Amino acid sequence: MGLHVSTHPLTAHLLTVLRDVTTPPSAFRSAARTLSTILSLEATADLESEAVSVQTPLEVTKGSRLENGLAAVPILRAGLSMLEPLLELFPDVAVGYIGLERDHETAEASRYYCKLPKLDGKVAVCLDPMLATGGSAAKAIELIKEGGPKRVVMVSVVAAPEGVEKLQAVHPDVPIYTAGLDRQLNPNKYILPGLGDYGDRLYGTQ
């Protein structure tokens, strides 16, 4: 399982765009969308498929089709930005939503909303762009696991070592896919060097 940091050169370029404080919301959204597409592809590279035969215009040939059901579960609100690229790649994906609120003093996450599809036997992809303390991701994955998925995958744009450590301690069976492993959290639990508040920069609400 473990941590998977993307090594694609386009990933590094897009992450630089997201980090730049001068990047306007429109360019931020565009870069975030493309980066989410790359991470979604990397996180689903080991999906199982079944062998099939298909009729081309000229002859019958062998092919493959995805075998497992797929579910995407963004953590509100910033995780929504990572959903659309996954839906474009996998149109039949089932979608759920988890809303978590972090206590700024304790950094503990509490649920205020949870709506999940049937997860039994599916591969569930948890989406949250910032893996900071790991508290929200750990809580979300706990809720997802209650639905009985075949396995769970975590996808984040940027991760802090503290969040990775927390998630690997609580959910060692869940692989983490990210564009960047940053240095640390500051006293306010923001990722350094990070890219600021993802949701605010995405929606221009700074």
Three-class SS of residue 31?
helix
CA Rg, the chain, in Å? 18
Residue among 7, 56, 106, 205 flagged as catalytic? 106
Q: Does residue 102 have an active-site annotation?
A: yes
Q: How wide is the angle at C-alpha 198 spanned by C-alphas 9 and 38, nearest 5°?
A: 30
Q: Which of 19, 33, 102, 111 is catalytic?
A: 102
| List 46, 103, 120, 200, catalytic entry | 200
How far is C-alpha 60 from the geometric centre of its chain's CA atoms?
Answer: 38
Residue 25 makes CB contacts below 8 A (sequence gap 6+) with: 201, 202, 203, 204
Q: Is 200 one of the catalytic residues? A: yes
Given the residues 19, 29, 33, 197, select the one marked as catalytic.
197
Question: What is the rounded CA–CA span in Å between residue 86 and residue 41?
Answer: 8
Active site residues per annotation = 102, 106, 197, 200
